[in-house]
Amino acid sequence: MKYEKIVVIVSSFLLFIFISAIIYAAAGLKIGLPTCITDIAPFKEGKVIKHTDQKYEVHYNSKMWAFDPPVVKIPKGATVDFYLTSQDVTHGFQILSTNVNLMAVPGTVNYARAVFNRTGEFDVLCHEYCGVGHQNMSAKIVVMEPDEFKNQENQTAAVNVPDGSEEKSDPDSKIDVNVILQQKACLGCHSVDGSPMVGPSFKGIMGRVEEMDDGTKVTITESHIRESIKKPGALVVKGFANVMPILEMSDKEMNAIVEYLKSLK
């Protein structure tokens, strides 16, 4: 009895210290829940950072089933530092014709450096099975002659800043559907040429009659598209798996996607 009492007192005391430490960490030291690496800059989105004309840094964010950024352009001779992470499962990352071969692991950042001494397109492939869209998961690195690179660089700059002023206040003001398609990785699962991939093709989707997995026939309208983006799985076309992720999309982005789909007759 005596010893039991001591055990109870000691364990209660330890438990009290433990809980106090947690409360102190959360309230006093402001240590919150651990954050996902893909929730914080600079790994929130894929990006290319130019240090000098010959030195670049690329942050790849991988997700089912695409790499962001999907296309990276650099000049011949450039040294590129690759930083790679994943926002969902483990992916592979191999740049063909180079010795860069990494794993994209959630919660970590992997690194490799490469020098590109010849022009051409280098394919980047996912070489770790990561689900139904695995075989479509790829990206491209385009190595250009320095002159050619400079030209396209100037052109892009001209497009981004039309009157020399930066429009930072409203990110929706210059919406580019291609950017949305990239960021949301739509084309990792939906083709634009009519061939079925992980999901139904985008080509001719508006007004198409599709058989749903419960056997009903539905003519796809704009509201079906909007509903399916907001609530993936609300409508699942027969023969396809219910694997579409939930995408956060602003109204403007949604409108841009709908207009884009209408245009793919």
Per CB under 6 A, residues contacting ligand CUA are 65, 91, 126, 128-130, 134, 137
- CB nearer to ligand CUA: pick between 130 and 235: 130
CB of 92 to ligand CUA, least distance (A): 6
Nearer to ligand CUA, 78 or 84 (CB): 84
Least separation in angstroms between CB 125 and ligand CUA: 8
242-256 as b/e: b if 16+ CB within 10 A: ebbeebebeeebbbb
Residues facing residue 94 across a β-bridge = 101, 125
Considering the complex, state which of residue 75 and residue 133 has its C-beta at the smaller distance from ligand CUA: 133
Query: What is the smallest separation between the CB atom of 251 and ligand CUA, expressed in angstroms?
Result: 30
Contact 114, 100 (CB under 8 A): yes
Q: Which is nearer to ligand CUA, 126 or 225 (CB)?
A: 126
What torsion, rounded to 10 degrees, do the Cα atoms 249, 253, 255, 258 define?
A: -80
Shortest distance, CB of residue 68 to ligand CUA, whole angstroms? 12
As a whole number of angstroms, the distance between CA 150 and CA 141 comes to 16
Closer residue to ligand CUA in complex, CB, 67/149: 67
Q: What's the min distance (Å) between Cβ of 243 and ligand CUA? A: 13
Q: At what angle do helices 222-230 and 251-263 cross, to 10 degrees?
A: 130
CB of 128 to ligand CUA, least distance (A): 5
**d(Cα 63, Cα 87) in Å, to the nearest integer?**
6
Q: Which CB atom, from 137 or from 180, has the smaller least distance to ligand CUA?
A: 137
Contact predicate 11/5, CB 8 Å: no
Structure-token pair, residue 219: 């003519």
From the CA atom positions of the chain, what is the Rg in Å? 24
